[in-house]
A and B are shown apart, each in its own frame.
Chain A
Amino acid sequence: MSTGVDYRLIDSTLRDGSHAISHQYYADDVVAIVRGLDAAGVQVIEIAHGDGLGGSSFNYGFSAVPEKELIARACDAATNAKIACLMLPGIGLADDLREVNELGVQVARIAVHCTEADITEQHIKVAKSLGMEAIGFLMMAHMNSPEGLVEQARLLQSYGADTIYIADSAGAMTTTDVRRRVNALVQALDVPVGVHAHNNLSMAVANSIAAYEEGATNLDGTSAGLGAGAGNCPTEILAAVSTKYGITTGVDPLALMDLAEEIVRPLMPRAQVIDRAGLILGYAGVYGSFLLHAERAAERYNVPVAEILLELGQRQVVGGQEDMIIDVALELATQHAARETTP
C-alpha cells in the first residue's frame, strides 16, 4: 500500500464499468478516464473486458476494440497510477497475463468463484514470476461462509497472492455479512484484505466503509458507479464519504466528481439506478453482469426479466454462466405458451 493512506483505492470503471456499456469502450474514452483517475490520485486503475482478459465472446459480449489495444493506451496514459488487469481462469489464459505484462500492466487480479480457489494456482504463480502484484479475488462471496472464505483465501495466500479480495458480485450482502467475512479474513490472513462492492441493495458505500472499519485496506469503486447490475461502489462517493469519516484516501473527491460528471456520465447509455431488475439481482443473489443479457433475452423471448433472474437465483448459477440466461428464457417461454393454450 502507498504510504500515508488508510486504504488503497482501486478503480474498475474500465473493467467492471465495461458491463454497463456492453464492452463498447474506445481508445479516447480509456485515455480520458485514465488521465482523470490518475490526476485525482487513484493508485490502481483496472482495465479489461468486463469478464476479464479474454472475456470477449458470444457468451459475455464482444468488445468493440480489442482489449489489449485499450490496455496499451491505458499504460501509456498513466503517470502515477499502476494499471491492473483482471482475469478469470477458465475464461482467460496465463498467456494473457504474459501479454499484458509486456504492455506495462503491474497488477494481476485473479478472480474465481468463492469456492474454487484451487483453479488459480497456475495463474497466481505466473503473475508472480512476471514480477506482478497478484491479487486473489473471490467472487460471489455471499455464497460462502466466513469460515469457508478463510479456507479459500488461505489457498490463494499459499499460491503467493499479495492481497486477497472478496467481491460482492451480486450486490447481495448487508453490512453485517461484510463485517463478519472481512473480520474473519483479517484475523486469519497474513496479507492485506480488500472488498469489491456492488450497489444492488443500495449498500455499496456503507459496505465499503464497514469493510474498512473491520480492517480491509483495499477498496474498489467505479466512476459514477458504472458497472454490472445496479452498479458498483461509486469511486467519487466513496472518496467523499471517506473524507467525512476522516479516513485518508490520498485521492481528491472533487476531481473524481468532475470525472464522473464530465467524462463518464456522457458515456452512459442510461443512468446507473437501482430499478426492479437491479434490485432483484441483489435480492436473489444473482451475478450482476447477467442484467443486460437477461433484459435482451426477456425481450427476444417475450418473458419477464424478473422471472428470468429469480429462476437463475434458484438454480444457483455462478458468474460466467451467462448461457443459462437463454436456457431459462426458453424454458419460461415454453411454460408461458403452455399456460396460454390451456383453457
Chain B
Amino acid sequence: MRCVILGSGNIGTDLMMKLHKGTDASGSGATPLELVALVGIDPASDGLARARRLGFEASHEGPGWILDHADEVDLVFDATSAYVHKAHAQEYADAGIVAVDLTPAAIGPKVIAAVNLTEHVGAPNVNMVTCGGQATTPMVYAVCRAVDSLPYAEMVSTVSSRSAGPGTRQNIDEFTKTTSTALREIGGADTSKAIIILNPAEPPIMMRNTVFAGLPEGTDHAAVLDSIHQMEAEVQAYVPGYRLKNRPVIETGPYSTPGGVVPHRAVILLEVEGAGDYLPPYAGNLDIMTAAAQRIGEAIAHHSAAQKAGAQA
C-alpha cells in the first residue's frame, strides 16, 4: 500500500525511519507499506533533509502535494495538528485516500493498536487517540476482560517536558478528554479519568504511565494480574520498550470512585522506552504513537489487499 507521511516534525520523521527499515511493526516480516513521500511545510526542516538523504520524495507543499498526487497515494499518516487535519480530512476521503490520524482531531473511529486493531480497517479515517491512550487503554482493557464489570479506570501519564510538543501544550484538555473517552469506549470502563503531567527533569525521564482500575467485589485477582502480564507481551510485540516497571499490585480500599465504591484497586506501573529511531529513547510517548501508527497502517494494508484479492477472485 502506497503511503505518505504528512508532517515532517518529530513524529513524522520517526515514523519515516521506522518504515525505512522495511520490516513490519512486529519486526517479523516485510511491511506492506511503501513510503512514497514525506510531506511537510518547512523546506529547511531536518525531517525533509533526512527524507532526501534516504531517497524518499520530500515535499514542503503540505496537504496540497498529497491531493495533487492522489493517484499515487493510498494512505496518509497525518502527523500535523488537529486543526490541519480537520481542514483536509474530507479532501483525503474524497480523493479515496485513507487517513490514519495521529492528531487529536478525532474525526474517525478510535483505534488502539493492542485492542481493536482490525475493528475499523475499512474506515476512510481512523484516529489514534493520544500517546497516553495508546499506552494505557490496553491495560484498562486487560483488566476489563478479566472482570465482570469495571466501574472506574484512571490513567496518569508523565512525559518529559522536552518530548511534549506545542500541540499538546496549547490544548492539554484535548489530551485528557480524548484519552479518558478511550478508557471507556475501547478499554471498557464505565467511568474514567485521565491526567497528564510534564516533568522537566534532566536528563529527561522516560514516559511513565500508571493505570488504576477499581475492582468490584468478587473479582478474581489472580486472573486480573495474569491478564495484565499477558497484555504487556501483546504490546511489546510492536513496542519493544513497553514494560511493567514494577509488578502490578492489588491494593485494598475501600475507594469511593465515580463508578461506585470498590473494595480494591489494581495499580499498574508502566514505562515506555522509545526505540530511538529518530527521537531519543526517553520519548517513549512519541515512539508508541509511531509504532502504533505503523501497525494500524499495516492492518489497513492487509485488509485492503484481501479486499482486492476477493474482488479479483
Contact = CB atoms under 8 A, between A and B. Distances in A.
Q: Do A and B bind each other?
A: yes
Given A58-B154, A59-B195, A90-B196, A118 B169 contact: yes
Interface string A137-161: 0000001000000000000000000
Nearest to A300: B251
A41 B161 CA distance: 41
A58 B269 contact: no
Interface stretch (A3-11, A69-77, A184-192, A325-333): A325-333
Given A323-B210, A326-B269, A62 B257 contact: yes
A164 B200 CA distance: 21
Contact of B173 (A59, A122, A319, A326): A122
Interface in A15-35: none
A252 interface: no
B246 A327 contact: yes
Contacts of B197: 90, 113, 318-321
A122 B177 contact: no
A119 B245 contact: no
A1 interface: no
Given A119-B169, A122-B173, A57 B193 contact: yes
Interface string B275-311: 0000000000000000000000000000000000000
A330 B247 contact: yes
Interface string B157-173: 01001000010011111
Contact of B170 (A122, A322, A331, A334): A122
B169 A326 contact: no
A255 B169 CA distance: 44
B117 interface: no
Contacts of B77: none
Given A90-B172, A300-B251, A330-B246, A318 B199 contact: yes
B269 A57 contact: no
Interface residues of B, number: 38
Interface residues of A, number: 37
A113 B177 contact: no
A317 B265 contact: no
A91 B199 contact: no
Nearest to A296: B251
A127 to B, nearest CB: 13
Contacts of B175: 90
Given A113-B198, A121-B170, A62 B256 contact: yes
Contacts of A143: 200
Given A58-B257, A62-B257, A93 B176 contact: yes
B54 interface: no
B6 to A, nearest CB: 25
Interface string B218-255: 00000000000000000000000000011101010001
Contacts of B257: 58, 62
A122 B172 contact: yes
B156 interface: yes
B161 A115 contact: yes
Interface in A89-117: 89-91, 93-95, 113, 115-116
A57 B214 CA distance: 11
A326 B175 CA distance: 24
A59 B269 contact: no
A323 B255 contact: no
B198 A321 contact: no
A318 B195 CA distance: 14
A62 B269 contact: no
Given A58-B212, A58-B255, A122-B170, A317 B199 contact: yes
Interface of A: 54, 56-59, 62, 64, 89-91, 93-95, 113, 115-116, 118-119, 121-122, 143, 300, 315-324, 326-327, 330-331, 334
17 contacts: A57-B195, A58-B255, A59-B156, A62-B255, A90-B197, A122-B170, A122-B172, A122-B173, A300-B251, A315-B205, A316-B199, A320-B158, A320-B195, A321-B156, A326-B267, A327-B245, A331-B246
